[in-house]
Every structure is written in C-alpha cells, then in structure tokens.
Amino acid sequence: MEFGFWSVVPPVVTIALALIIKNVFVALFVGITLASLILSGWNVFTGINGAFYSIVHTFESSGNTIVIMSMFLIGALIYLIEHSGGIDGFVDIMVKKKGIIKTKKSAAFFTWLLGIVVFTSGSLSCMVTGSVSRPLNDTMKVSHEKAAFLVHTTSTPWCVLFPLSGWLAAMTGYLTSGGVSEGEAISTLLRSIPLNFYCIIAIVFSMLSTFLPLDFGPMKRAELRAETTGELDDPRSAVEDEEAVTAVKRDVTPRMKNMVIPMLTMVGVILAVLIVTGDGNPTAGNGMQALLWGCMISVLVIAVMCRVEKLYSLERLVNEVLKGMATMLPIACILLFGLTMGGLVKQLDTGNYLSSIFMSALVPELLPLLTFIISMMLSFATGTSMGTMAIMSVIALPMAINMGMDVPLVAGALFGGSIFGDHVSPISDTTIMSCATTGCNIIDHVKSQLPYAVGFALVSMALYAVLGFII
C-alpha cells in the first residue's frame, strides 16, 4: 500500500511537537500513534493496538535491545563510580593534583579528542566519550549544551569519515546496492570521503570551537550562562535528579581508580570482543555484542571493587545498581520510542515518497545538491542515517551512473546529508545518547546545535551546487 503524503505526516508532527511542547516523550508517543493509525487505514482500535504492539516489536531486533540494555548498564556504572568516589578522585587528579586539565578549553578539547579516538560506533562513542568527559566538563564549567555538541559531533560524523569499523562494510554495501561494482566499491568510498563536506566541516569546526571564540546563538548564551552563573543547564529546562544531587554533596573518599579501572575495562573488553568476533580484525567485529559485553563487565568490575573496599553490603550493592539503572529510565523510554518510530516510518515508506518528489524534475548537474538536500530532509524526519543511506543509495547512485555524473561526489553528498538528520533530529538515537551521558536536555541540545548544523549544511550545499557543474 502506498501512503503518499500521509507517510510524511507522523515524523513531521513528532518533530514539530517536540520543539513546541519541549517534551520528546509525548511527541514520540503521538507520532507512533498517528503512524499506526495511518497504517491501519484509520481504524481507531486497530491503530491504537498497533501502536502498543509496535513498541513490543522493537525488541525483536537484538541491536535495539542491546542499545537499551546498555543504557541501563551505563546508568548503573556511572552511579557506582560516582558514589564510590571515582569521579571525585578522577577530577582531583586531573585538575587539582596533576593539573592535566587546567582550563575550560582543555576540558572541551579532551572531550573532542576522546570522541575521535572512539571511532568504531556512533552509539559507543556517545556513551564512552560523554561518560568519561562529563566530570571534567562539569568541573571546568563547560555547559551541557557545548559538551553534548562535542560528544555528538565526534560520533557518527567521524565514523563516516574514518570508517575503520562496521561502517566500512555498511557503506560499501550501500554503494554496491546502488550499482557500483564490488571491485570499485572501496575506492569509490575512499574518494567520497574528501567530498563529504558536511562531516568534514562539522569535525573541524567542533575542534576549533574548543580553542577559539566561535560560538554563536543559543550555544554562546549557554556558555556565557555557565561561565557567569555556574549553571550548566538552562534553569528553565533542567530537571535535577535528587539522588544525583545528593551524591555529589555526600562525603566520599576520592578514589580515582574507581573510575579509571572500570572505564579502561569497558574499552578493553569492547576491543577484545571486536577482535574475537571479527576473527582478528576489530573493524569487522560485532559492535553491538562488544558494547553489551563492555557494559556488563565494567559494571561487574566496579561492583566487585565496591565490595572489596567494603563500601556496601551485598544487598545494598544490588540496590545501588538498581538505583543507577533507574536514573536512565526516562532516557531509555525515549530511546525505545525513537526506535519504534523509526520502524513505523520505514513501513510508511516515507523515504521513497520524499525521494520521488524531488527526483522527478532533475537537472543532471544538480544531482549532488539535490541528493544532499533530500538526504538531509529524510534523515531529519526519520532520525536515522543508516536508513537514509539505504534508501538514497538505490535512488541517487544509479542516476549518477546513468547520467555520467561523478559517483564519489554524489556518494559524498548522500553520506553527508544522511548524517545531518542523525546529528540534529530530536528522535535520533545518538542525539538521545549524547544528552543522556552529558546531562543535557534534548531540546536544548537540538536548539543549540541546529544553527551550527544548518551553517555546515549551507556551506556544503554551495560546494555541491558548484562542483556538480565542474567535476
């Protein structure tokens, strides 16, 4: 069944509601219900029933389940690290005793650099970078909006530019599905990377913004607020967790090892699982499996350390783990709804509908520009970069080949435009994860990051418009 215009309505309504009422959870629930009603032919009972069951069906994907489970485990990990003095100890060494991180700029750059180092997965990058860097950013008064921007920008944008992971297989697969021969897929991908202007500009700008006064708009106001008042969140939208506030104020002995050892364990286990599942090649390993094992083992390690240090009884320790997991419940629910929404949008075939509209009247030289614009709109509406790449590759790449256009240029536009939505959409999983680990309100993150992303996109559009006639 073709849904035409109606296929666009649920994601548009969801995003509009999120920005208007500033509650992503409610916006997603409305979008899910609306999408289910459309899929059911506006049968109220069937539609509402389908909405509930679509949430259940989200767990049929092992990848979705692992991401949600990992979020709960990350919550437990951070909670135990914090309550055992790990964060205080880490900050004490890095800032006070050793003075490795001396300024706000160095804390921000540390965040950017860590995101570059963790390149295997966008989700993994958000979780590790956000979790490790947060205590330093909070100590140095880096606003949560700026921290979330740095964590988010060094996740999927960098994964696409440096695809030595599962992204390599995925992106070459998209190229071959679009008509590029298997023998030329890798070389085409490599040639497309310097032409992925959106991601390049995003990475370079985010790095420069850690040292230079480049902030503007909502981000500049957020940074000024953090510097002058010490408020890392906008007081109008910040919702402090009572337990978290208490934890910061409680008298705990600083123990840097209680943060360093679990975090190193997480990274080490992830790398080991990637190597094992990839038959010696970590770039070919199972990223989701690695993420799950890394989170589970690191929680186990910090739990054992807490028992050895006699901080908690076994019963109290179990309760503390559950409390930590509970801190992630709101964000995990939002993530669940976001993943559900993505599945429903796929059923509505929103991507193909939007693509057919824009591609119907095409000037060949404008193909790179239109590919970039359509990919932007589609990824923003759906919140998925991979899904957008899968849809656009079978539409744009065959056209590029048949029209004699430069395939790497069109591929660069496709990949960059697909990342745009992942980067700014409030229903994107990396948006949600970046906010979860940095403590930033989702809408505040979107509002402060959007002007940057639009600026990156406008420069990219100008380049594609010109190069379409030159290359």
The predicted-structure confidence for 230-285, as pLDDT tens digits, reads as follows: 899 988 875 444 343 333 444 678 888 888 898 889 878 878 887 888 888 776 77
**Ranges of each domain in the chain:** 62-163+212-330
The predicted-structure confidence for 143-164, as pLDDT tens digits, reads as follows: 999 999 999 999 999 989 988 6
Mean pLDDT of the chain: 84
DSSP 286: -
Residue with the larger pLDDT of the pair 187 and 183: 187
Once rounded to an integer, what is the mean pLDDT over residues 215-240? 86
**Token pair for residue 182?**
């298997």
**Of the candidates 40, 19, 18, which has an alpha carbon nearest to the alpha carbon of residue 27?**
18
| Burial of residue 183 (number of CB atoms within 10 Å: 0-12, 13-18, 19+) | exposed
Q: Name the packing angle between helices 314-326 and 287-308 (round to 10°).
A: 140
Amino acid at 233: D
Highest mean pLDDT among 48-57, 123-132, 323-332, 391-400: 48-57
Q: 57-62: which pairs have CB atoms within 8 A and are 24 or more residues apart?
A: 57/340, 57/343, 58/336, 58/339, 58/340, 58/343, 61/339, 62/288
pTM: predicted TM-score of the whole model, two decimal places: 0.73
Decide if 32 contacts 340 (C-beta within 8 A): yes
The predicted structure's pLDDT at residue 249: 43
Q: ∠341-30-11 over CA atoms, to 5°?
A: 45
